[in-house]
Amino acid sequence: MKPARITDDGTVAAAVARWKGDPKYAPGQAINGKIRCGAKKKDLNPCHAPPIEGGTRCGNHGGAAKHVKAKAQERVIEANARGILGRISPDAPRENPVETLLNLIRSKNAEVQWLRGKVQALQDDDLVWGKTEHREGMAQEGPVDVTVYKAEVSVWYRLLREAENQLASWITSALRSGVEERKVRIAESQGSAVAGVIRKVLDGLNLTPDQVSLIPVLVPNALRELTGEMA
């Protein structure tokens, strides 16, 4: 059977495209749906042994070299990161999947720290009691201005818990995918610093109730844009 070239992996496809020799010895061949080493053996037949993970050659034909193994590991981590991004943010760019993932962690941690500050500033009663509805305007019976209060967990607390769970999940996925822990922790610390600045700015503004109601939507978006520029 004639080996088929890999086309679903940009790195491997590029290696095949650059190959100058006989195509049957090209790197990263697919035989019966499995990637195989195409190096030439002593009997002049292609090797067809399984290559190292993320690579195009087996350990006996260059795959064991330190720099080759390092590059192959990078490809594995990038592939894992792309998979995570597909679950977290399908529209996120895929060109630099690891940096994109770290940027999401930066922005999410900034959001968590900012929300945590909002929750810590609440009085105990505010955590379980607050305004849940406000109607104002004209009705059949005349002018209406009704505010409803009831026992309910604060929206800030709910948003904080949701953001904390997302952050923990993303960090765990990044570490399991092979992203360096040092890089993940740096992304977290950068997010915390940004949150501190945003919190100080908002606390110094005299916002109207309508403006305050937009904060849970506008701030996370602003944090994502800002930390994106930091990446």
Kindly indicate the confidence band of residue 53, based on its pLDDT and cuts at 50, 70 and 90.
confident
> Between these two residues, 68 and 219, which has the higher pLDDT value?
68
pLDDT attached to residue 22: 66
pLDDT at 4 over 50: no
Tokens, residue 20 = 């100058």
pLDDT attached to residue 180: 93
pTM over 0.75: no
Pairing of strands 34-36, 29-31: antiparallel
Q: Return the top range by mean pLDDT from 10-14, 41-45, 133-137, 138-142.
A: 41-45
Count of alpha carbons within 13 angstroms of residue 62, beta-carbon side:
14
Count of alpha carbons within 13 angstroms of residue 164, beta-carbon side:
11
Kindly indicate the confidence band of residue 102, based on its pLDDT and cuts at 50, 70 and 90.
very high
